[in-house]
Structures are given as C-alpha cells and as structure tokens.
Amino acid sequence: MPQPQLSPRKAVAPEQLLYTAAQVRELDRLAIASGIAGFELMRRAGQAAFDLVQQCWPDHSPIEVFCGGGNNGGDGYVLAALAAEAGLPVRVWALAAPAALGGDAALAWQWAQRAGVAVTPWRGELPAENSVVVDAMLGIGLRGEVREQYGLAIQAINTTNVPVLAIDTPSGLCSDTGRILGLAVRASQTLSFIGLKRGLFTLDALDCVGELSFADLAVPRDVYTTLAAAQLDGAVSHLNLPAMLAQWGPRPRNAHKGLAGHVLVVGGDYGMAGAALLAASAAARSGAGLVSCATRPEHIAALVAARPELMAHGVGSAHELQPLLAKASVVVVGPGLGQQAWGKELLVAALAANKPTLFDADALNLIASEPQLLFSHDGPRILTPHPGEAARLLACSTASLQADRFAAARMLAQRFAASVLLKGAGTVVATDAALYLCSGGNPGMASGGMGDVLSGVIGSLVAQGLSPQRAICLGVAVHAEAADIAAEAGERGMLASDVIDQLRGVINGYAALS
C-alpha cells in the first residue's frame, strides 16, 4: 500500500501551487473519485501525523489529542488509535460529542475505541508537563470566529510549554488568508495534507504554523492535473528562487553595460537622501549596467562619496529631469521622494516619460491622493506598497486590507493595471490574473530602507530585460534570500545596507544554490 510522503518546510505542493481550502476539498473529492476511499485518505493522514510525532518528539509522553467534530478530528482519532496499538500512552480530549460524529470521522472514533483509547470530554484540563499535544480540532473547515469552547482549549494549549503538532492547519487560523479568527493554536509543527494551503505562508500564520511539513497522502498525479486543467481561481504559485535563477541563466560572454540596462532612481528629498542611495546601490549590486540617481543638488557630494559607481544628478525641476528620463531603461520613482511640490513635479515628469516604471513609497502616497495621475502613464507599471500604502490606494483600512492580502493584491493589480507587490510577512505578488507568494524573509527586515532596496533590485532586473512579472517575482525572492543570509548574524539591528551586501552572491546563485 502506498505511504504518504513527508517533505520539509521549504518544499511546496505539487506543481508549485498553494491552494485555497475549497481547492483542497476538490482535490480530496477527485482523489476519492479516482478510487481511494475517503477513510483510506483519513488513515493515511493519521499515519503521517503519528509518524511525525514519533520522529520529532519520541521522548514526550503521553500524546494528548484534542479532537473536534469534523474530519480534522477524525485524523486525530486515527492518530490516537495508532498510538494505542503501538503501546504508547495516549488520550483524546473531545471538543465535540464523539457519538455525534458522522462519516469517516465516526469510523475513526470507533477504531480508537477498539484500540482502547481513553476519550474524555474536555472540561478545561491542561496538557501534562512532558506531553506532546496534537491539535485536531478545526482544520480548514472553520467558518467565522472560533467558538468559546474551542477558544478556551486553544488558550489552554498555548499557555503550556509542550510541543504541539497542528494537523493540516492550526485551529483558529484561516487557511485561505493566514488571519487569526479570534484565537489560534501556536504550533511547533504543522502537517498539511494533499495540497499546501496558501494561508499557511502569510500574515499571522508565520507565528502559528511553526515548522511546516507536507504529506501528499499518495494522491495520484492525475488528480492535480485534473484540477489544474480547470479554472484555478485563487491558486497561488510559490516562488522558487533557485528555479528562477536557473531559468534566467548566465550572462553572455560578450556582455557589456549597455546590454544590462540603465536604471534611473528618482527621489531623495531633504532629509531622505539615504532612501534614494539605498535603491540605487541595490540596483547596481543586482546587475544593472548603469545606475543614475536624480535627487536634490545638496545630496550629490554625499551620494558620490558613498557610492562612486552611481551617476548622481542634482535636479531642481522637471525640466532638469527630462534628459535623464530619456536615457533610462527603467525608472524607479518614490524612495525618499516626499510629498511636497518638488516630489510631485518629478513624479508627473516620470509618468509622462512612459518608460517602464516602478512606483514606491511617496510616489504611491501621491498617487493615492490623486489616482488619475497614474492613468496618464502608458508604460508598464510596478507598484510595491506596504499594507498602509496599499490601504490608501484602495481607500480602505489597513486592517480590512490585511484580512485578505491575496484579494487586496489582486484588486490593486486590476484597479491600476499594474504588477503589484504587497509587502509584509509572506509577500504577495499579483500580475494580470496570476498570484504568487514569497515565503522568504525574516523579522529583521522590520527596519527603515528595506523597501528601497527591494525597489532597486526589481528595477535592475527590468533594466536587464526581464518582464515586469518575472522581475517582480525574482526580485522579491532575491531580496528575501539576501535578508535571510544577513539575518544569520542576528535579526535585531539588521540594516538595509546589510541586505545590499548579500545581493551579489544571491543573484549569481552562489548563496541560493549552495
């Protein structure tokens, strides 16, 4: 009999896709239609979870399984039955009456009964000191806020200092959006089945999922192919940096700087010269042939001293910017631009040039206040907002935007006819009808200038001939990998310039492929 295969955290689901809960339920239905009984899938899920418990925490006892009333609870009952049959101490805390279970979950409960598992209604008990907890309460079936009894159980689990395995999805976490629905289990490990859920990689999920493993439950490849042939609205492609770098390939041996493009960074109002310098430096370190920086005249000496490879130009008006725009392959406008008359004048000039343009920071804030500005631009557009900027562009609250980052990124892409990168934990990219997710990066990136570096990286890739879609996907993955390498020395105190220092190795594949 085929056994479910476990893969480590950085592996992704078949076809590099991350799925919605509805899509995973359809995969489950197609697997059953292919000839695999529903209870057999549940048995495989319970077996994979039991194997992971044994692999990760062999010295913890007893195994305490918190079971809900659906198929997620059924997976927990299977695990408990297998543990009992192996002679291991195990007990089930029932959050729903076992006698009310139906279908495959009822069969799993009956198996646990035959195996001698003690099943007790949960009444507020805390897990034992050296136990391992299995969260099999809610899974991907949660609708709305967590109900009180489940919330109390989640609190009890989270207050203990014992390892926790979440089956499929930590209870209380929305598997479509990564949002906590009131309360959520903070797991040490999460084991996802059949298809990885897109919400496990963004927003609140990063504090709930722990280490992530995947078990395909030996579902035939044809099942995934059948679903892929249908409309996969909402499916997300998980970005794979080594694969993207390999696809890009090396430079031709006769390459020269003219072939590698010319990036123009526009920004750096008074007090914000560093933002423009960071973006321009990142563009140079990412392989652009030429990098120019249009900024306040007072900043030129400092920029040249810091990075002599840049062509720094002092501009006081749109008229002085025009010849620089004419020479550029791509424009990055916004880092340190400010929202005063000078910044707006330069933005309007950049828009009129109709070059491929990346809009970031204050350029986005100016556009949010006058959206019609953007529609005067006829070239390819890339928008790279953080959640606050994105909320201003959509005229909504940051909280409502963060409630579904995938929908927000797609709405921005459609409304502004642009490729969009929505920054944050689990960065989301929306281009045309496609969605992508970058799961790299770390909390050390919560410091000034990181977004400026990202803008420079993406602008450089566009200058080197990549389409906006490929540039934004490769750029965010390169930036995240460089930040993860920089964070090896510690997350607190990490600077944007530390990330720039790692870009060269990453973009040449030395770090990402090692």
Question: Does residue 179 sit in the same domain as residue 134?
Answer: yes
Q: CA-to-CA distance for 91 and 80, rounded, in angstroms?
A: 7
Residue 500's domain is classified under what CATH number?
Answer: 3.40.1190.20
Question: Does residue 481 sit in the same domain as residue 403?
Answer: yes
Residue 1, domain member (yes or no): no
User: What does the pLDDT read at residue 294?
Assistant: 98
User: What does the pLDDT read at residue 231?
Assistant: 62
Question: Does residue 176 sit in the same domain as residue 288?
Answer: no
Which residues participate in the annotated binding site for (6S)-NADPHX?
71-75, 139-145, 150, 168, 275, 336, 386, 452
Domain span including residue 12: 6-238
Residue 176's domain is classified under what CATH number?
Answer: 3.40.50.10260
Residue-wise pLDDT tens digits, 56-114: 999 999 999 999 999 999 999 999 999 999 999 999 999 999 999 999 999 999 999 99
Please state whether beta strands 211-215 and 6-7 pair in parallel, antiparallel, or not at all (unpaired): antiparallel
User: What does the pLDDT read at residue 433?
Assistant: 78
Q: How far is CA 457 from CA 256, 265, 451, in A?
A: 19, 11, 10
Sheet holding 211-215, edge to edge: 6-7, 211-215, 189-193, 164-167, 132-136, 63-67, 90-94, 118-121
Question: Does residue 336 sit in the same domain as residue 416?
Answer: yes
Residue 176, domain member (yes or no): yes
Q: CA-to-CA distance for 74 and 104, rounded, in angstroms?
A: 7
Question: Does residue 165 sit in the same domain as residue 282?
Answer: no
Question: What stretches in the chain show pLDDT beneath 50?
Answer: 1-15, 513-514
DSSP 27-80: HHHHHHHTT--HHHHHHHHHHHHHHHHHHH-TT---EEEEE-SSHHHHHHHHHH
Q: CA-to-CA distance for 61 and 55, rounded, in angstroms?
A: 13
Total structural domains within the chain: 2
Residue 229, domain member (yes or no): yes
Question: Does residue 224 sit in the same domain as residue 271?
Answer: no
- Rg of the chain on CA atoms, in Å: 26
Question: Does residue 265 sit in the same domain as residue 358?
Answer: yes
Q: Could you say which of 207, 238, 269 is where a domain stops?
A: 238
Q: Could you say which of 177, 208, 238 is where a domain stops?
A: 238
DSSP 142-175: --SSPPHHHHHHHHHHHTS-S-EEEESS-TTB-T
Contact in structure between 189 and 56 (CB atoms under 8 Å): yes
Length of the chain: 514
Contact in structure between 483 and 440 (CB atoms under 8 Å): yes
Question: Does residue 230 sit in the same domain as residue 354?
Answer: no
User: What does the pLDDT read at residue 59?
Assistant: 95
Question: Does residue 315 sit in the same domain as residue 220?
Answer: no
Q: List phi, psi (to 5°) of 89.
A: -65, 125
- Residue (of 161, 140, 154) closest to 182 by Cα position: 154
Residue-wise pLDDT tens digits, 8-65: 333 343 347 999 999 999 999 999 999 999 999 999 999 999 999 999 999 999 999 9
What is the token pair recorded at 54?
A: 């044994």
Which residues participate in the annotated binding site?
71-75, 135, 139-145, 150, 168, 171, 275, 336, 386, 423-427, 451-452
Residue 248, domain member (yes or no): no
- Residue (of 231, 150, 133) closest to 190 by Cα position: 133
User: What does the pLDDT read at residue 511?
Assistant: 63
Residue 254, domain member (yes or no): no
Contact in structure between 138 and 146 (CB atoms under 8 Å): yes
Which residues participate in the annotated binding site for K(+)?
72, 135, 171
Which residues participate in the annotated binding site for AMP?
423-427, 451
CB burial of residue 394 (10 Å; 0-12, 13-18, 19+): middle
* Helix/strand/coil (H/E/C) assignment for every residue in 387-403: HHHHHHHHCCCHHHHHC
Residue 442, domain member (yes or no): yes
Residue 512, domain member (yes or no): no
Residue-wise pLDDT tens digits, 401-411: 999 999 999 99
- Residue (of 295, 203, 235, 255) closest to 24 by Cα position: 235
Residue-wise pLDDT tens digits, 345-362: 999 999 999 999 999 999
Contact in structure between 74 and 44 (CB atoms under 8 Å): no
Q: CA-to-CA distance for 92 and 134, rounded, in angstroms?
A: 9
Angle at 129 between CA 123 and CA 131, to 5 degrees: 85
Torsional class of 302: left (φ above 0), alpha (ψ -120 to 50), beta (otherwise): alpha
Q: CA-to-CA distance for 276 and 421, rounded, in angstroms?
A: 19
Amino acid identity at 458: I
- Residue (of 293, 269, 272) closest to 281 by Cα position: 293
Question: Does residue 180 sit in the same domain as residue 275?
Answer: no
What is the token pair recorded at 395?
A: 């005229």
User: What does the pLDDT read at residue 8?
Assistant: 35
**Confidence (pTM):** 0.93
Question: Does residue 230 sit in the same domain as residue 147?
Answer: yes
Q: CA-to-CA distance for 88 and 81, rounded, in angstroms?
A: 10
Q: CA-to-CA distance for 134 and 185, rounded, in angstroms?
A: 10
Q: Could you say which of 238, 272, 293 is where a domain stops?
A: 238
Question: Does residue 291 sit in the same domain as residue 203?
Answer: no
Contact in structure between 204 and 173 (CB atoms under 8 Å): yes
User: What does the pLDDT read at residue 1?
Assistant: 39
Residue 420, domain member (yes or no): yes
